[in-house]
């Protein structure tokens, strides 16, 4: 399809140029230069040192996306099948946390997950900590050396980081899936039944494939911010779970000041993310493309 540019598109084009294209160009320039702005590829060859951060970022982001999908799809499906009154309430509940500041939300999770936090106080009161000690002792490499704790370690683990990401990004999974399922033509479901499909068959052969575009855009909208997340990993990961976002932040604002390396890392991350999206969209080929960004 050919798209002719009309004059109405001009403000949009200018905006995109200023806010998207030029920044990306600047990033590319930085990535391929030294502090004295001489051309180099050293920024990339140095990056091997951070392979573990790359791996962790993608691993945690994939886990968070899968968890979001596993929770989000059933929730979206169930919401779409309830009455409009219920849907309004559910929608409000899903959006509500998003009206709160992101850092505030994450700090709240810190105080919940801390060794002396709300959850651990609860666990202690119901003696879950003892159970935990039993299990930990059982699996400990050297039981003799195992020291019982009076808390279940949560903060500072990769689990806490995944939890933080799931909590923050779950709405972005639920909403697109919900709206696709809601718009499904009811007569298609009746047609499937008419042709002999039972409930499971209708779901597998009609609802699931037709809601794939929603799943695709949900996955994109959760995965992209998850890979590049920072702050969540720092606050809930307790410094042990550095992710790409933190690494990049350090190069620009933190102690390891090196914007050129930061730009190079950003670029590599972008390329990998775009590749992931291309591969994924290929699965849904023909259907409406997942909305990117």
| Interface ranges with another protein (CB under 8 A) | 185, 187-188, 190-198, 201, 205-206, 209-210, 286-287
Question: Which residue is associated with the tokens 């949009």?
Answer: 12
Whole-number minimum distance, CB 205 to another protein, in Å? 7
Selection from 222, 188, 187 nearest residue 76 by Cα = 222
Cβ-Cβ contacts under 8 Å for 145 (sequence gap 6 or more) = none
Whole-number minimum distance, CB 214 to another protein, in Å? 13
Are residues 132 and 152 in contact, defined by beta-carbon separation less than 8 angstroms? yes
Q: Which is nearer to another protein, 105 or 193 (CB)?
A: 193
Selection from 50, 112, 109, 120 nearest residue 233 by Cα = 109
Question: Rounded to whole angstroms, how far apart are CA atoms 33 and 43?
Answer: 8
Q: Which is nearer to another protein, 255 or 286 (CB)?
A: 286
Q: Which is nearer to another protein, 4 or 282 (CB)?
A: 282
Whole-number minimum distance, CB 287 to another protein, in Å? 7
Whole-number minimum distance, CB 199 to another protein, in Å? 9
At 248 the three-state DSSP class reads helix
Q: Which is nearer to another protein, 48 or 83 (CB)?
A: 83
Ramachandran assignment for 37, one of left (phi > 0), alpha (psi -120 to 50 degrees), beta (any other): left
37: exposed, middle or buried (Cβ count in 10 Å: 0-12, 13-18, 19+): exposed
Selection from 1, 35, 69 nearest residue 222 by Cα = 69
Whole-number minimum distance, CB 283 to another protein, in Å? 13
Selection from 235, 265, 271 nearest residue 251 by Cα = 265
Q: Which is nearer to another protein, 184 or 292 (CB)?
A: 184
Task: Work out whether the CA dihedral 265, 268, 274, 275 comes out positive or negative.
Answer: negative
Whole-number minimum distance, CB 88 to another protein, in Å? 22
Q: Which is nearer to another protein, 28 or 197 (CB)?
A: 197
Whole-number minimum distance, CB 198 to another protein, in Å? 6
Q: Which is nearer to another protein, 16 or 188 (CB)?
A: 188
Quote the strand ranges of the chain, DSSP E: none
């Amino acid at each position: 399809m050919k798209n002719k540019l009309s004059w109405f598109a001009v403000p949009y084009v200018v905006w995109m140029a200023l806010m998207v294209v030029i920044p990306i160009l600047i990033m590319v320039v930085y990535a391929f230069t030294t502090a004295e702005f001489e051309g180099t590829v050293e920024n990339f060859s140095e990056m091997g040192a951070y392979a573990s951060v790359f791996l962790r970022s993608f691993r945690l982001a994939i886990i968070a996306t899968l968890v979001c999908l596993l929770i989000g799809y059933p929730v979206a499906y169930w919401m779409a099948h309830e009455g409009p009154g219920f849907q309004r309430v559910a929608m409000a509940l899903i959006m509500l946390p998003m009206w709160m500041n992101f850092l505030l939300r994450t700090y709240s999770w810190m105080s919940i997950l801390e060794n002396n936090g709300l959850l651990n106080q609860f666990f202690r009161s119901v003696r879950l900590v003892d159970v935990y000690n039993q299990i930990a002792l059982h699996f400990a490499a050297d039981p003799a050396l195992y020291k019982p704790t009076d808390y279940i370690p949560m903060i500072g683990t990769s689990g806490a980081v995944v939890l933080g990401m799931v909590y923050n990004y779950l709405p972005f999974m639920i909403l697109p899936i919900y709206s696709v399922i809601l718009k499904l033509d009811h007569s298609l479901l009746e047609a499937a039944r008419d042709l002999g499909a039972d409930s499971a068959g209708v779901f597998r052969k009609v609802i699931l494939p037709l809601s794939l575009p929603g799943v695709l855009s949900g996955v994109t909208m959760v995965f992209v911010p998850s890979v590049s997340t920072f702050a969540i990993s720092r606050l809930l990961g307790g410094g042990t779970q550095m992710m790409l976002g933190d690494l990049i932040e350090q190069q620009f604002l933190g102690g390891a000041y090196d914007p050129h390396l930061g730009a190079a890392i950003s670029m590599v991350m972008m390329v990998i993310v775009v590749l992931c999206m291309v591969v994924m969209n290929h699965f849904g080929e023909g259907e409406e493309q997942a909305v990117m960004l």
